Amino acid sequence: MSQKRYKILAVEQENSFTKTLTLDCNDAVMPGQFYMVWVPGVGQKPFSVSGAKPLQFSIADVGPVSKEIDSKKPGDYLWLTGPYGNTFKLNGKKAVMIGGGYGTGPMRYLCMLAVQNGITPNLVIGARSKDRLMKHPASVKTFLCTDDGSEGRKGFVTDALAEILKNEKIDAIYACGPEKMMQAIGKAAKGQGIFCQLLLERYMKCGFGMCGQCSCGESLICVDGPVYGLEILDNPEFGKFHRDASGRKVNL
Amino acid sequence: MASKIDLSVDLARLHLRNPTVLASGIWGTNASLLLRAEKSGAGAVTSKSCSLNPRTGHANPTIVLNEHYCINAVGLSNPGVELESEEIREAKSNCSVPVIASIFAHSIQDFEAVAQKIAEAKPDAIEINISCPNVSNEGRMFACSTADSSSVTARVKDIAGSTPIFVKLSPNVSDIVSIAKSVEDSGADGIIAINTVSGMIIDAYARKPVLTNKFGGVSGPAIKPVALKAVYEISRAVQIPIIGTGGVTTGIDAAEMLMAGAAAVGIGTALSYPGRSFGAIVAELESFMAENGYSGIKQLRLDE
C-alpha cells in the first residue's frame, strides 16, 4: 500500500489547539482506524479518523507535523497511507463514550455510528480547560469535564462516568485518551462487569507491524489494535510506559 | 507423512527447531517482541542492531511497503547497548529458541565496546551488521572493504569468545563473495546475506523523495533474485553456514533459499504481509518437503 494524495475539502476550528479537516476521500473507514499522514518536506505521523465518507481527522497542534497540517487550507493536499488498525464492537442498548483531549475525535465518530445502530450513547469529553474541549454533536447527551472547572464539571471523566453508571444501566464503555485515564476506566468497567474497549496510542514508524516501536508488551498496537478489550489491563506495559523513537522505555 | 520430516537445523553451534530466523530490524529492539516471534513459530530470533549510544533514527516517513517491496530508512534507531543488553538478558530468560544479538558501530573501537557489553548479556550468537559507514575510512561502509570487514570480524570474534558470530553482508558492494571469504578467514562462524539493497522512491505528485532520508534499503519480494544469487555464490565459496535473507515470503521461497545454499532462512518484511507468519511459512515449507520427498533441510541444497 503506497501513499496516495487527497485534497482537503474543509477545515474547521474545533478549539484553539485543534482543527478538523475533511478530505476528498470516501474510504469506508471505522473509528479506531488510522492513516499515516504525510506532508511532503515536513514529515509523517499516524492520525486516528474522526469521521468517514468523507474522511475526517481532528488534529491537535502538538508537534511539527500536526502544526503544518493545521496550517493547511481547503484545496491543499495530504498524502495518506492506510487505513490501518481495527475498530470497536458496538454492543447493547446504552453506551458511554469517553474522550480525553484529542481522543475525543474517534469517540465522537463512534457516537454517531452508535446512533445509526439504535444505541443510545452518552458522550463524556474531558480536557485540561475550556479552550481545549472539542465540539460535540447537539443530538448526543454530553457531559463536559475540565481539570480547572472552566467549563462543565470540575474534575476527571471517571467522576462523570461513575455518576452515569449510578443512574443508568450501561451495556458498553468506550474510551480514548491518556493511558492512565483509560486504565482507570478499564478497571471501573471490569469492576462492574461492563463490556469495555479502549483505543491506545503509541509512537509509530511504519503503521503496519514492522518497526516494533508501538509495542505494548508482546502486542503491536498498529496491527493487533489500536482498539483493545479489557484483556489489555493484564498487559505488563499498559498504563506504565511507551517507547520513544530510539526504543527506550518512557514512563507514562 | 509429515512426521517423518525433520525441519531442525544446526548452524554454528546453534540448534534451531526449524530454519526460519527473525531478521534483525524487524519488530524493534525489545524482548517482548522477540518472544512474540518465537510464539509465531520462529526457529531463532535476532534483535534489532544496537550501537554504543542511543539513536532516534531518521524522521518519518521511514518505512514504505507495497506488494512488491519494502523500503526503509529507519536510521538504525536503538536504545543503545546499555539498555539493549538488558533486553537481551530478558529475551534469554523468556525465549527457548536461540537469541541472536545484532550490533553495529562506526569505528572498530566502538564495535569492540558494543561487542564487549552485548557479550556480557550472553546471547546465543552475535550478529555483526557491517552495513554502516566507517568514520576512520572516509565514511565508506565496513561491508565494502575486505580489510575493514576482516578487522571488525576478528576483533569481535576475540571479544565474543565461545559465542558464535555471524556477519551480515551488504549486497551494495562490487564483490560480495570476496567479502564473505574475508570474514570467514577472520573467524566468522556464519554469514547472513543479504542486507537491504540500496534504493530510493519518489512521489510524482509531491515531486519529492518519499523517505525523509531520501535513500533507503529495499527488502521484500523484489530482492529475492538478488539474495538467491548472492547466497548461491557465497555458499560455493565458503564452508561456514549462511542465513539466507531477502524476500522470503512463503515456504516455497524458503525452500528456494535453502536450495541456493542457505543453512537457514531470515524472515523480515514477509511478516507485514496479510496472512504471513513464521508458522505459515514453516507449514508451507513442511508441506512442500512432504509432497516432494524431502525428509531433512540439507537435502534441499542444489547439487551444483
CA dist B170 and B128 (Å) reads 11
**Contact residues on chain A for B35, CB-CB shorter than 8 A:** 218
Spatial CB neighbours of B188, under 8 Å, sequence gap ≥ 6? B128, B153, B157, B165, B166, B167, B240
Global ipTM: 0.91
pLDDT in the model for residue B278: 98
Spans in chain B with pLDDT lower than 70: 1-3
pLDDT at residue number A201: 93
Chain A, 112 to 171: residues with Cβ < 8 Å from chain B are: none
Q: How far apart are CA B182 and CA A31, in angstroms?
A: 55
Q: Among A45, A211, A217, whose Cβ lies nearest the Cβ of B63? A: A211
Nearest chain A residue to B61 by CA: give it: A44
Amino acid B3: pLDDT: 59
pLDDT of residue B139: 81
What is the overall mean pLDDT for chain A?
94
A133-161: average pLDDT: 92
Which is nearest to A123 in space by CA: A132, A86, A105, A57? A105
Same domain? For A147 and A229 the reply is yes
Residue A98 lies in a domain: yes
Point out the residue among B32, B60, B205 whose CB comes nearest to the CB of A205.
Answer: B60
Q: Determine the pLDDT at residue B1.
A: 47
- Which residue ranges form the domains of chain B, and what is each CATH number? 2-300 (3.20.20.70)
**A76 and A195: one domain?**
no
Amino acid identity of residue B178, one-letter, is S
The DSSP code sequence of B171-184 is: SSSS-HHHHHHHHH
Of the candidates A116, A113, A118, A126, which has an alpha carbon nearest to the alpha carbon of residue A94? Answer: A118
CB atoms within 10 A of CB B135: 12
Task: Kindly give, in sequence order, each residue whose CB lies less than 8 Å from that of residue B138, ignoring residues fewer than 6 positions away.
Answer: none
Quote the CA–CA distance of B77 and B58 in Å, as a whole number.
8
Tally of domains in chain A: 2
Nearest residue to B64 via CA among A76, A152, A211, A179? A211
What span, in angstroms and rounded, lies between the C-alpha atoms of A133 and A17? 9
Contact yes or no for A86/A163 (Cβ under 8 A): no
Catalytic (active site) residue B144: no
Q: Give per-residue pLDDT as tens, B231-280.
A: 999 999 999 999 999 999 999 999 999 999 999 999 999 999 999 999 99
CATH code where residue A204 lies = 3.40.50.80
Chain A residues near residue B269 by CB distance under 8 angstroms: 210
- A234 — contact with chain B (CB < 8 Å)? no
Tell me: do A69 and A98 sit in the same domain: no
Q: Which residue of A has its CA nearest to B83?
A: A248
List the beta bridge partners of residue B128.
B103, B167
Residue A181 lies in a domain: yes
Q: Count CB-CB contacts under 10 A for residue B293.
A: 8
Of A37, A65, A84, which residue constitutes the final position of a domain?
A84
pLDDT higher than 80, residue A1: no
What pLDDT digit, counting tens, does each position of A102-134 carry? Answer: 899 999 999 999 999 999 999 999 999 999 988
* Residue that finishes a domain, picked among A49, A84, A119: A84
Domain final position from A34, A63, A84: A84
Q: pLDDT of A190-236, one tens digit each?
A: 999 999 999 999 989 999 999 999 999 999 999 999 999 999 999 99
Cβ-based contacts of A5 with chain B (< 8 Å): 203, 205-206
Domain boundaries, position A73: 4-84
Q: Do you find a cis peptide bond into B133, omega within 30 degrees of 0?
A: no
- For residue B301, the tally of other CB atoms under 10 A from its CB is 14
Least Cα separation, residue B298 to chain A (angstroms): 30
pLDDT of residue B2: 47
Q: How far is CA B143 from the centre of its chain?
A: 14
Residue A184 domain-assigned?
Answer: yes
d(CA A193, CA B118): 46
